[in-house]
Structure 1
């Protein structure tokens, strides 16, 4: 088992097939996706979708129990897919798969599953599936038109609502492969020279994501604002306002990111043609270089409030919170006068910026190599971790990063806290770990990530690289991500923790916390040169020295200090234990003496009490003024005492007589039983036979008498 391929997928039939169709000109794509226990992969050579039940194959490594010995299934589209697929996206419920490319989108309908291993159609090797191409004529008539992003709507009841972002600043909504709505999210990109001008100003939308649903603030006011745009639209808007008043409407905020870093928000319902575009949203705090001058990706984490992640191609990731504004802010006029932009009801507050290391920088002092390594830029793609909301993945041409957002757990702790005076302190910084590095030299060649899939139960991640190599790793979830501060921070212990300072474990963790880690180095198609190998070795040695060995030395020194302190405390505690043992012996001796003294005093006290009682009794009886009634009562008590003693003696005598009589009665009964006469067995049998014969004779004579009576009577 390889350390970089825990699931041994490099030998799998699925990846053996798709290796022959990998693109020559590489760029970051996502040709993999996983839904439950199914791993989907696009085969560009045969234009088909390959499926593998990774969980069943994981439990059955020898392939004995797979359905009909099938390791992977081939889903053949009924209609030929003529576009170059660069992303595979399964729907939320796993009923559809969207195959997206720069020149179109195709939806493939998955067949039903049955059988012991849950394969499609009980493990049939090749299955023809229905496919639907979206707006093929539109892309043919508009050559500059390209697809920027596709996402399934999270609240689709039928699991078939797909949102497609095009580079003409429109989002097209499809349901059951049919176009339902076209939402304008920016100025219209016209044909001709204006197309270039909009790209130069960065006004083209590059990505979007859907935030959690929210109720509209003032739907009546918003509808009135829309009605005032033109006289022709006033009547339609009023009718729409009445329909909104009849039924409660929920809006889904759609955040749209443009290339210049501006973020707009589109407020609309799930199945509504009417939209409200707001923006650009104010981003605070303001920065000199602005946010997102080279923006390339956007992602929303459904926390409370929602967390927005903005990625730039230079490796910067901005973590922000999407919050409602106290007052709506007006935006500047757009380039396109036909797009109505309302005052923004939201603001974005950036909490931190994480800078990723895109490839390993050379440690050589030569300016060319170092400069090339530090100036490398590439588009960054973001993917949420469905297992842990505090973590997401950033993959690009230089590998894979795992980013842990720490302040989300603090937000959750603050919301769940019942303490009135609790404070929200978002001081914990996020961590970015370089898990896989595919660029570790200054050359122009890249080994891009062509696919990423997240596995669940057990948790893992599968990566497909441009070289054809497959990397499968297990996801180790940090304990700090699982245990929130509210679970171990008690009200009564907070003061003690503040007085005693940080624990030794926290100190060791802070010493071991490193800003740069040594990622896994992916294999390349061509063997590196001697100079590249030397630079890579120097870089690895430098990282090990600065980020590993040096910190281990600090930890060793901290352990030595801690051990010395513990030994000193141990000696002091042993001495205190000896002193306490001596005091305990002294206290034990004193306790024995006090116990003996107490018993003696108690016995003497009892004697004195008895003597006092007798003296008081005699004194009371000898008093000359004692009344006659008391004397007679004393005499009566004495007489009753004597009578009682006589009755007790008589009762004992009667009991003895009764026992003696019982003894004689029992003895006489035993003698009577012994004197009882019994006939011998032979005589008893003879008498029984004689009686039987007499009985028979009597019966015969009775019968004769009855017969004679009948005769006489005739």
Structure 2
């Protein structure tokens, strides 16, 4: 696996096919785009769009290498920009001479490919304003962006070099917004271009509510008749809050304009040029080429110049609307500006490595090229700047301070935007003084895992992994720094912060991209000298400072360690003394407690005797005392008797339990055979008695009295015989229960008969 190609995209068929159709002219463009897990790439040779699921390929699934999306109609453009819509339902293909929209098919299947992984798919396409570009050969496309508030995900804004923004919904033109003076053919065109009045880029700021109609009326009293008609039409509308999206427009001379408009609104309000503070002599953008808005609060504006300067500013609402001078074109209505732009910092990029100079210098500053900006959707503090000389990653530090200030609930919290941004030179494609360049032909940002894919003019593909947020690398000590109190913060920065400040460098050594032609010996020698100088100044020298800082820190720690050992010894001695004193105090406390208890008892006895010996003591109290004494004596005697009773009861329970155990041991149970024999004999006797009773009743020879006497005699005889039989049969068994049961049964029947 190559260190500069983590995803191994150079070996894929997709980029091998794209290399054959790369344009010969080396200028920065963007033929790549990424949405979710799909990587789009434009094939200029066959004029088709290639799609690859980069996540499935990263996981090792190679069932489908890529899919080819073939436009239904021929695309006759030199495509230099590929832009997928917000919901990835459309892809805009832009060139200098037109824009084409390609509808993406549906996705289904286990891997989420288009039409279950079909290799070649024909997609519906439609071109925008083809006749307009044919009739106007000088008309060019400067920028295009999808509107973030489009419900159908199909609203596209296209900026042309005639200072107009054309709004399309699918293939239909909805609106034409004028953002500057009209450029007609003739002498006025070249003069306006010379003064930098042509809009070069735009971006859409977060939406806001419109201001009241009364303010608008007071601002436009000096406008022309056409503007008065527009204002009268606005007054006739019902008063309701409408959401407007500020479209921030950047002109080549650095002036910024704001176009207030809705998503589907014919009426627009152009404001500008916006006041930029603090003011400078040479303005902020004499060679402005790109603009980008980071949706922070307030929004952050990034303005790029072709000399490598990046201006970071805040777009804030003005306290009072400011009037501006009239434009060159009288047909453009300019309203007082409701916004101001406050520049916080300027970052200078290093456009290529200086050949023979250290870290940039005049040689690097002499090279100018357009700089393009791309925002990182995962980390709002970071964006990327790509150009002919490579790629930079810029981190805007004050955005986190703004977010912290907004989240803070403390009234004493103060906003300090002192943290400076940092720019890292990730990839360098120009490291000599020749005119040949290796421009960036495509930039795509991957999400989860975060990464970046670059397509260079030489055909080489660079794929790198990125850290989602630099704050994730902060140590736990730094994460707790915000919660420290004032006393801890006044102690000074920690050792880790000191080491980081010493290791922080202003210039880094970027990745050097391979070129088509091998460099000469002189160029290689100059590049080696430049790399050695950067390493010596920015790395080795700082490491020496860090080593000295470590030595000082180690000496301080050793000194503190010796001092702490001495203090520990002193504390041990004091602890022993305190322990001895504590033991003595405990013993003394026990003695005092015992003496106090004795004294309390003596005092109680004396108080009782004194109270009883008082001469004025009443008879009732004496009788009560005597009764209490008598009850005490009786209670003690009863307690003694109760105790003796308990002992006697326990002794009896013991004897009873013992006798029961003896009875259980001496008890004898008949065997099963003998028990069945006795039961059978008793059953026969019972049957015989029943039969005799029935016979006597039927014959009626005797009366009831005579029958009773006879039965008693019979029962006596039977009982005696049965007892003798059992005793003779079982001489060792005398079971009273069995005999009693038999006798009871016979007597019961006799009672029934009586």
Same-fold call, TM cutoff 0.5: yes
> Cα 1:558–1:681, aligned 2, differ >3 Å: closer, same or farther?
closer
Query: Take 2:664 and 2:586, find their aligned partners in 1: how far apart are those partners?
Result: 68
Which residue of structure 2 lines up, in the alignment, with residue 637 of structure 1? 628
Q: 1:190 is matched with which residue? A: 184
Q: How big is each residue's C-alpha offset from its partner over 1:102-158, in whole Å with a ceiling of 9 and x where there is no partner?
A: 011111111111111111111111111111111111111111111000000111111
In structure 1, C-alpha distance between the alignment counterparts of 2:349 and 2:107, rounded to whole Å? 42
Structure 1 window deviating more from structure 2 (330-339 vs 218-227): it is 218-227
User: Which of 398, 403, 407 lines up with 2:398 in the alignment?
Assistant: 407
Q: CA 1:233/1:364 → structure 2, altered by over 3 Å: closer, same or farther?
A: closer
In structure 1, the residue matched to 2:700 is none
Q: CA deviation at 1:506?
A: 2.1
Counterpart of 2:449?
458
Choose the corresponding residue for 2:279, options 275, 286, 289.
286
Moved more, 638-647 or 109-118: 638-647
Indicate conservation of the 8 Å contact 1:220/1:241, yes or no. Answer: no
Pair 562,244 (structure 1): closer, same or farther in 2 beyond 3 Å: farther
The structure 1 residue matched to 2:253, chosen from 260, 280, 305, is 260
Tell me the residue number matched to 2:356: 363
1:636, CA displacement in angstroms? 2.5
1:99 and 1:655, CA in 2 relative to 1: closer, same or farther beyond 3 A? same
Report deviation, 1:346: 1.3
Distance 2:369 2:221 in 1: 44
For structure 2, the residue ranges without an aligned partner over 5 or more in a row are: 697-754
Q: Post-superposition shift, 1:239? A: 4.1
Given that 1:417 and 1:486 are in contact with CA atoms closer than 8 Å, whether structure 2 keeps it comes out as no
What is residue 713 of structure 2 aligned with on the other side? none
Equivalent pair of 1:223/1:238 in contact (CA under 8 Å): no
Instruction: Say whether the 8 Å CA contact 1:331–1:341 is kept in structure 2.
Output: yes
| Contact kept in structure 2, 1:414 and 1:423, CA below 8 Å | yes
**Normalised TM-score (structure 2):** 0.86
Q: Secondary structure of 1:582's match? A: helix
2:310 pairs with 294, 311, 317, which one? 317
The answer (yes or no) to whether the contact 2:92–2:99 under 8 Å persists in 1 is yes
Deviation, structure 1 residue 694: 7.9
Maintained 8 Å contact 1:7/1:472: yes
The one-character-per-residue Cα deviations of 1:265-287 (angstroms, maximum 9, x if unpaired) are 11111101111111111111111
Deviation at 1:638, TM superposition (A): 2.7
Q: Which residue of 1 aligns with 2:30?
A: 30
CA distance in structure 2 between the aligned counterparts of 1:701 and 1:633, rounded to whole angstroms: 85
How many Å apart are 1:219 and its aligned residue?
3.8
Pick the aligned partner of 1:150 from 144, 152, 160: 144
Q: What CA distance in whole angstroms lies between the structure 2 residues aligned with 1:256 and 1:180?
A: 20
Pair 695,119 (structure 1): closer, same or farther in 2 beyond 3 Å: farther
Q: Deviations over 1:135-186 (max 9, x none)?
A: 1111111111110000001111111100000011110000122100001111
Q: 2:438 aligns with which of 430, 440, 447?
A: 447
Q: Pick the aligned partner of 1:655 from 643, 646, 666.
A: 646
TM-score, normalised relative to structure 1: 0.91
Q: Secondary structure at the match of 2:402?
A: helix
Q: Is the 8 A contact 1:390 1:481 kept in 2?
A: no
How far 1:53 sits from its partner (Å)?
0.8
Distance 1:342 1:93 in 2: 35
Larger gyration radius, structure 1 or structure 2: 2
Q: CA deviation at 1:517?
A: 0.8
The answer to whether residue 391 in structure 2 is matched with residue 397 in structure 1 is no
2:82 paired residue among 82, 88, 100: 88
Change (3 A) 1:696 1:451: farther
Could you give the per-residue CA deviations for residues 33-73 of structure 1, whole angstroms, max 9, x where no partner exists?
A: 1101111111111111111111111112xx3xx5xx21111
**Partner of 1:518 in structure 2?**
509
Aligned to 1:532: 523
C-alpha contact (below 8 Å) 1:172/1:182 kept by paired residues: yes
User: C-alpha separation between the residues in 1 aligned to 2:585 and 2:209?
Assistant: 80
Match of 1:128, SS state, is: strand
Tell me the distance in 2 between the aligned counterparts of 1:173 and 1:187.
Answer: 18
SS at match of 2:92: strand
**Cα offset, 1:586, TM superposition:** 1.3
Counterpart of 1:299 in structure 2 is 292
How far the C-alpha of 1:2 sits from its partner, in A, is 1.1
Aligned to 1:254, the other structure's residue is in SS state strand
Change (3 A) 1:583 1:690: closer
Distance 1:236 1:396, change over 3 A: closer
2:49 equivalent in structure 1: 49
- Give the drift of 1:243: 3.0
2:551 corresponds in structure 1 to 560
Q: Distance in 2 between matches of 1:400 and 1:337?
A: 42
Distance (Å, rounded) in 2 between the aligned partners of 1:305 and 1:657: 97
Task: Give the aligned partner of residue 79 of structure 1.
Answer: 73
Partner of residue 266 from structure 2, selected from 263, 273, 294: 273
Matches within 5 A, 1:26-175: 26-60=26-60, 63=61, 66=62, 69-175=63-169
| In structure 2, C-alpha distance between the alignment counterparts of 1:701 and 1:624, rounded to whole Å | 101
Q: How many pairs are equivalent?
A: 697
Q: For structure 1, list consecutive stretches of 5 or more residues without a partner in the other structure.
A: 706-714
Residues 463/623 of structure 1: CA separation in 2 closer, same or farther (3 Å cut): same
Q: Does the CA contact (< 8 Å) of 1:384 and 1:392 recur in 2?
A: yes
Cα distance change on mapping 1:281 and 1:486 into 2, 3 Å: farther
Question: 1:604 offset after TM fit, Å?
Answer: 3.2
Residue 249 of structure 1 deviates from its aligned partner by 1.0
Matched, 1:346 2:330: no
- Which stretch of structure 1 is more off in the superposition, 636-645 or 404-413? 636-645
Greater alpha carbon shift after TM alignment, 130-139 vs 619-628:
619-628
Q: Distance in 1 between matches of 2:65 and 2:640?
A: 105
